[in-house]
Structure 1
Amino acid sequence: MCQTGGQDNCNIACTADNVLTDSKKAHIRDTLIPAATAYLTSALDVISVSGNLRVGSDNECTIRDPLTIPPQYLDSGAGVAADIILMVSARPTAGTLLAFAGACKVDQYNRPIVANINFGPSNLKPQTPVDPSELGTAIHELVHGLGFTATGKTGFAKFLDLATNTTRPEAQVIGATVTVGSTNSYSYDAINTTAALAEARAHFGCNSLAGVPLEQQGGLGTARSHWEKRVFWNELMTGTSSADPRVSRITLALLQDSGWYTANFDAAQKFSFGKGKGCSFIDNKCVAGSWPANYICSTDKVRSCNFDRSARSQCQLVEYSSGGPAADMQYFSNPNLGGADSLADFCPMVIEFSNGVCSNTANIDANNDPFFAQVFSRDSVCIDSSIGLAAGEENIRCYRSGCSSATQAVVQVGANWGSCAGGESGLTAAGFSGSWDCPSAEWVTAQCGATASFPTLTAVAPTSIQLTGGESVTLTGSGFTADMYVAIGPVSCNSIVLLSTTEATCTTAPSTIPSSIAANIATVPRTAAIIRADASAATLANAATVVTPSPAVSLLPASTLVMAASLLAALAMLFA
């Protein structure tokens, strides 16, 4: 335990931030660990031991600093009905390191049965909802503890050959190389196990891919123990954290290839970085013409939406004084200039703001967002927009969006619901200055093309509602779900009661549009919309009139009018 003003056994000078407070302890115990283990329980199955799990007679668990395994889990104890014992600690960590983990005991087939995850208290951020990056780090470290690693007690060198129940040679797991570039080329070690390689080939659209590239930088504990950052970017198992980490089918496939687990691929999260970009995306360096233009950049601090429009982002370049790009990873005439994430081979990447993920409701700024019609929500995406902004200011915002067909997206900006087939520009929003542009047709297809089905919306009652909320609304259509978002123009409708898949009721909430803007919005019929959790959507034009306040008119008191009349009479006499 870290004591204020002292040193812990890792020789880190402690400050008050390093102390495990009650709130930080509760955050680990009641939020991070339950959420992380619940996800992994849904994603992986394992052949359970017969009876209770006991872990031997040695009571020491050592990853970096030793922990004592409680006696009830040893051979002399009662054991526990579990597949793995997770020991959680909170010792200080250096710098910005949030957590580390690894297995300290394995069974006869080298499957981890005891693992330690340690959280650095100074880097914990207890908040509701939980920070996706922080939860992602917890899951990431637990996956290391399950065997996704090239170092430690178990891992790639100890994978099980199910046909013989013997350990596979590491060369059958990390048995390929991937070369990048035709000049000044460099190579990655790569995973070539059956399921992981098949999933990677399908994801990238590269049937000739020899192996799944592993990180080659970062030193012991990072190199060869993570996916290559350059081509996996925000995948959970890269070597640096992301604002919106995703568990891909490729990671679940590798865990299945270990021989210790069976993966539930339905638990994989949507991962779109590099999807369908072909072999050139992996084989070529990240330069214009070889890589998509919205992945890379050339001018520092220029803001834009990220590669899949899930977040507000910025070009981040660094002029390195040391440790900069080697000759085979240089992209600028200045040899010291490179992308801010060195693990991505110094590629000049567009990097998401930590508070820029549009689906993260913790990013809501209730004081400012309404003046730009900005909405952070489950359904929000990044859109090029100058709505509510002065010329030259930031030109990207998060707006709610869904797919009304395989080739059509809808976007809510204030009171308006715009329809996008791709590339429409100069669209406006009632009451706001500025305009916004639809994403490209390529993005619409990528976002909407694989949607299996779409709801419909055929009627809304009543046909006139107030901005102030509190009214009951009945919806008619098809494909309704309890998790759908409902809005009539700028008015959200919450507390949804699903009467059937064709009928639902909800209660309107007060509009968040500022009164100064609402006063300039005409009282006219507005489009209603529903968006389901899978982003499929339906709209109904002219569904209901949204009654907005009339522009304020100041009336002078009667006494003032009398005084003004007397003054005019006096002036008339003076100039008669």
Structure 2
Amino acid sequence: VTVSVLYWPAVARVAPSLRKRACCRPTATSTRNAFVFAAMTVALRAVGLVTLFVAVVVALPQRHECVHDAVRRLPGYGANAERINVSYAFDTSATTRSFAAQQSSSFQSLRIQVFFDQGDCSAGTCGHCTAVGDTVPTYESAGATTTCQTDDVLTTEKRAYIVDRLMPAAKDFFQRALNVARVSGNLVVSGSSTCGQSPGTAIPASHQSTGVADADFVAYVTAVPKADRSSATVAWAAACRRDSADRPLVAHVNFIPAKLTNAVNLTSVDQANDEATAVHEIAHALGFSAPFFGDRGHLALDGTTMVPSGGTTTATSSTLGKSVTYLTSPRVVREARAYFGCDTLIGGEIEDQGGSGTAGSHWEKRIFNDDSMSGISTGVLSYHSRLTLAFFEDTGHYTANYDAADTRMAWGKGKGCAFAENKCDTLGTNDDNSEFCFDTNTQNTYCTFDRLARGYCGVGDYGQALPSHQQYFSGAPSIGGAVYHSDYCPTVLPYGNRICIDPTTSDSQDVYGNTFSATSRCFDSNLLQSGRSTGSTRRETRCFVPECDGVRLRILVKGVAVTCPADGSAGTADLSALNGQYSGSITCPQSSVFGCAAGVTPPPTSGGGTSPTPAATPSPPAGPGTPPSTPTPQTAPTPAPNADLVPTPAPPSLPLSCADRVSCARTAMAMLPQCRGAARAIADCFGTDCDTQMENYLRAAGVYSNCTSNAAQTAYQGACIEGRAGVADLCYLALSPAASVGVWGPALFVCLAAALLAVGVVPL
């Protein structure tokens, strides 16, 4: 069967964790279809019933655009928010603000009060779905409504997730991070009866008369779906009330219930990301938004004068080959220069890609990759930075407690003007020191820059020439990073099921030495239990627990410590302590990556298999490595820098290890109930001493001798992995005759038909 497959950019060999910040997460449909296609490809090839060739791959455009800028333009939101009169502890009018008081006790911790859905469901103004078939407003335009579907219903778990976890986390962060001139008495939310006017969410009558006690900022939270179910929006927020000096006072925050899939699982990594999304959106509501960048004035560095204009600068960068907009208010400049170690940096670069939802209202992804206020989140975790707090302080509305900022963000930190001001292909590639990768081989695996996960170099084909100043692959003008917000610079993207710090991650076969825990980190390694082989020569990675013994790095493999070079330099770990249980190697980075230094000692329990004390949070690596060659200039037409191009990734490849095949089969069981019988048989097949069975089959096929050296494995890779005639016979060896292909083969064809419909397969 030869088919042409239409599938989404989210498809990968193992679906990656690629989440767009706040409004930007892959849709459930695209991820499900990706899994279906990958699982069925594995299933069909594994049993030798059908050979599936992907002849044509067309990427369907899936625009994960944040909606903050769209919301702030609606009546009653953002720069259109109603102005109300509020009394403060001292004079804060636009002309006579006592800015010196910001440095005194007059500015106190920001008090935030949160109220969930104040609408009347019986009157049709409910701000959440109570049942399938309900009609609720979307707040996207005047009178816009949508009919609730199953995933839209606000279950008890989803409500608790918002009310008890996400909003408290955001509230706690800003109450620690920002100080304000507090409201005197109650905050009376005067004006219209709604927060926003499209139609907006209801404001209780008591809030408009008596007011809200102990509040400097009020958030009204709803949980309605977007009318466009293919949207990747997770949440949005915008201010709906402000004072005469444009300080935001009241906001509408909305979460999309269908995207809160972690409400039931409550995994720590996903919750951390959802909490970061809540913080991101509240930051927009508090004023981190394009209309407030530069045209509202900023506070002078000495805290005594309000500069009435300025705060942004646009200049042409000869090194980047484009026009760049910077935030140039004084504290932002101070923090940006300190972070990169560049005393001449103009300011904090603003994102110029991603369309109206992202461009202009976020930090530039290329150099602020892990900042929670970048427009798209593609890593394992994101961090609330001093740079963002500096912006809030520059507005004159707040002072910042910089101790609340997360110091773990290391992307580009301390790497000087070269990193902040130059193209990514001049900064190093494919090594421990580089934030960027330039590898088009999708079989290779890499560690993410922060070493929190195993991943792959995210590269895609955009189908047309990229802007000439953003072409990094010689002779391939249409190839670029899969996350185009980073100026098409390719970065390592994590696999969703290979997160080292996620304790819920596991290997289907425990043969790789991996440990998934909060203290684990990623290492370049091809470790494997002795006597086993994946038949692969690709670059590989593993998750181990690092610890420091003075300047020396030690790595725990299933609780057994192996040692790196004594002087803390990079090198290869000594695996003798493993007593031959594992073959392969582990590459040691410089121990300073994990904070190892003289006087740092390992815990007494290390090496005994009990929970070790981890090494310190990784500090930024040393300077950049060798840059790739400069790409050959292209003459192909160049699209505009903000063109909404979507990369066409390589088609999903068959997993190379038995363990990964079992994982894919189990995914098929979970995703396609009608395929569980066939998928379970496949899982049983590959889960039954798979490596031994594979070896027996290869010996019988007469090709085993071709698979015993690295050079031969490369030449005979297909045979070494699949066997010359496929692995149907291998499955027959592993399964009893009653469970052979003849019994469950027909069911697999039913699954094939369902899968083809699910992913949009079109026969040639």
Q: Normalising by structure 1, report the TM-score.
A: 0.73
Distance, in Å, in 1 between the alignment partners of 2:403 and 2:503 is: 25
Distance, in Å, in 1 between the alignment partners of 2:583 and 2:151 is: 44
Aligned with 1:17: secondary structure? helix
Distance, in Å, in 1 between the alignment partners of 2:168 and 2:147 is: 30
Distance, in Å, in 2 between the alignment partners of 1:101 and 1:316 is: 30
Gap change, CA 1:321 and 1:211, over 3 Å in 2 = same
| RMSD (Å) for aligned C-alpha atoms | 2.9
The correspondence for 1:237, drawn from 369, 373, 381, is 373
Gaps of 5+ in 2: 1-127, 620-764
Name 1:80's counterpart in structure 2.
213
* Contact 2:225/2:256, CA 8 A, preserved across alignment: yes
Query: Alpha-carbon deviations, 1:83-142, whole Å to 9, x = none?
Result: 210111111134221111111111233221111211111111213244122221111111
Distance, in Å, in 2 between the alignment partners of 1:399 and 1:325 is: 39
Name 1:4's counterpart in structure 2.
132
Aligned with 2:295: secondary structure? helix
Distance, in Å, in 2 between the alignment partners of 1:456 and 1:347 is: 38
1:100-249 map, 5 Å: 100-125=236-261, 126=263, 127-130=265-268, 131=270, 132-151=272-291, 156-161=294-299, 168-169=308-309, 172-177=310-315, 179=317, 181=319, 185-242=321-378, 243-249=380-386
1:160-559 map, 5 Å: 160-161=298-299, 168-169=308-309, 172-177=310-315, 179=317, 181=319, 185-242=321-378, 243-269=380-406, 270-287=408-425, 289=427, 293=434, 295-301=436-442, 302-321=444-463, 325-332=466-473, 333-362=475-504, 364-365=505-506, 368=509, 370-388=510-528, 390-391=533-534, 392=536, 395-405=540-550, 407-420=551-564, 421-425=568-572, 427-428=574-575, 429-430=578-579, 432-441=581-590, 444-448=591-595, 454=600, 487-492=606-611, 530-531=613-614
1:373 deviates by: 2.6
* Contact 1:305/1:313, CA 8 A, preserved across alignment: yes
Name 2:185's counterpart in structure 1.
51
Gap change, CA 1:415 and 1:160, over 3 Å in 2 = closer
Distance, in Å, in 2 between the alignment partners of 1:395 and 1:158 is: 51
Gap change, CA 1:361 and 1:249, over 3 Å in 2 = farther
1:4 deviates by: 3.1
1:431 deviates by: 5.9
* Contact 2:217/2:250, CA 8 A, preserved across alignment: yes
1:15 deviates by: 3.0
The amino acid across from 1:316 in the alignment is G
* Contact 1:85/1:115, CA 8 A, preserved across alignment: yes
1:433 deviates by: 2.1
* Contact 1:382/1:396, CA 8 A, preserved across alignment: yes
Name 2:92's counterpart in structure 1.
none
Distance, in Å, in 2 between the alignment partners of 1:316 and 1:532 is: 28
Aligned with 1:220: secondary structure? helix
Aligned with 2:384: secondary structure? coil
The correspondence for 2:153, drawn from 19, 34, 45, is 19
Query: Alpha-carbon deviations, 1:32-53, whole Å to 9, x = none?
Result: 1112211222222222112222
Gap change, CA 1:114 and 1:239, over 3 Å in 2 = same
1:489 deviates by: 1.8
Gap change, CA 1:281 and 1:116, over 3 Å in 2 = same
Distance, in Å, in 2 between the alignment partners of 1:348 and 1:220 is: 23
Query: What is the count of residue pairs matched by the alignment?
Result: 459
Q: Is 1:89 equivalent to 2:222 in the alignment?
A: yes
Distance, in Å, in 2 between the alignment partners of 1:141 and 1:299 is: 35
Distance, in Å, in 2 between the alignment partners of 1:61 and 1:300 is: 51
* Contact 1:305/1:396, CA 8 A, preserved across alignment: yes
* Contact 1:45/1:262, CA 8 A, preserved across alignment: yes
Gaps of 5+ in 1: 461-485, 493-528, 537-576
Query: Alpha-carbon deviations, 1:442-482, whole Å to 9, x = none?
Result: xx224316x7974575xx6xxxxxxxxxxxxxxxxxxxxxx
Aligned with 2:514: secondary structure? coil
1:167 deviates by: 7.2
* Contact 2:294/2:327, CA 8 A, preserved across alignment: no
Distance, in Å, in 2 between the alignment partners of 1:52 and 1:398 is: 52
Gap change, CA 1:532 and 1:384, over 3 Å in 2 = closer
Aligned with 2:403: secondary structure? helix
Distance, in Å, in 1 between the alignment partners of 2:297 and 2:147 is: 39
Distance, in Å, in 2 between the alignment partners of 1:532 and 1:382 is: 13
The amino acid across from 1:400 in the alignment is V
* Contact 1:176/1:210, CA 8 A, preserved across alignment: no
Gap change, CA 1:336 and 1:45, over 3 Å in 2 = same
Query: Alpha-carbon deviations, 1:123-175, whole Å to 9, x = none?
Result: 11213244122221111111111111114xx5653355375775732xx2213
- Kindly indicate whether structure 1 or structure 2 has the higher relative contact order, using CA contacts under 8 Å at least 6 residues apart: 2
Aligned with 2:191: secondary structure? coil
The amino acid across from 1:280 in the alignment is A
The amino acid across from 1:340 in the alignment is A
The amino acid across from 2:525 in the alignment is S
Gap change, CA 1:289 and 1:376, over 3 Å in 2 = same
1:313 deviates by: 1.6
Distance, in Å, in 2 between the alignment partners of 1:376 and 1:356 is: 9
Name 1:514's counterpart in structure 2.
none
Distance, in Å, in 2 between the alignment partners of 1:165 and 1:55 is: 30
Gap change, CA 1:532 and 1:334, over 3 Å in 2 = closer
* Contact 1:63/1:101, CA 8 A, preserved across alignment: no
Gap change, CA 1:54 and 1:78, over 3 Å in 2 = closer
The correspondence for 1:33, drawn from 164, 167, 177, is 167
Name 2:91's counterpart in structure 1.
none
1:417 deviates by: 1.3
Name 2:721's counterpart in structure 1.
none
1:64 deviates by: 6.3
Distance, in Å, in 1 between the alignment partners of 2:381 and 2:516 is: 14
Gap change, CA 1:453 and 1:121, over 3 Å in 2 = farther
Distance, in Å, in 1 between the alignment partners of 2:188 and 2:134 is: 36
Distance, in Å, in 2 between the alignment partners of 1:316 and 1:432 is: 34
Distance, in Å, in 2 between the alignment partners of 1:283 and 1:317 is: 22
Aligned with 1:226: secondary structure? coil
* Contact 1:218/1:343, CA 8 A, preserved across alignment: yes
Distance, in Å, in 2 between the alignment partners of 1:40 and 1:358 is: 29
The amino acid across from 2:461 in the alignment is E
1:244 deviates by: 0.9
Distance, in Å, in 2 between the alignment partners of 1:395 and 1:63 is: 54
The amino acid across from 1:83 in the alignment is D
The 10-residue stretch of structure 1 (127-136 or 18-27) with the greater mean CA deviation from structure 2:
127-136
Q: Is 1:69 equivalent to 2:197 in the alignment?
A: no
Identity within the alignment, %: 32
Gap change, CA 1:136 and 1:325, over 3 Å in 2 = farther
Q: Where is the strand percentage greater, Structure 1 or Structure 2?
A: 1
Query: Alpha-carbon deviations, 1:239-260, whole Å to 9, x = none?
Result: 1123311112211222222222
* Contact 1:159/1:167, CA 8 A, preserved across alignment: yes
Gap change, CA 1:293 and 1:165, over 3 Å in 2 = closer
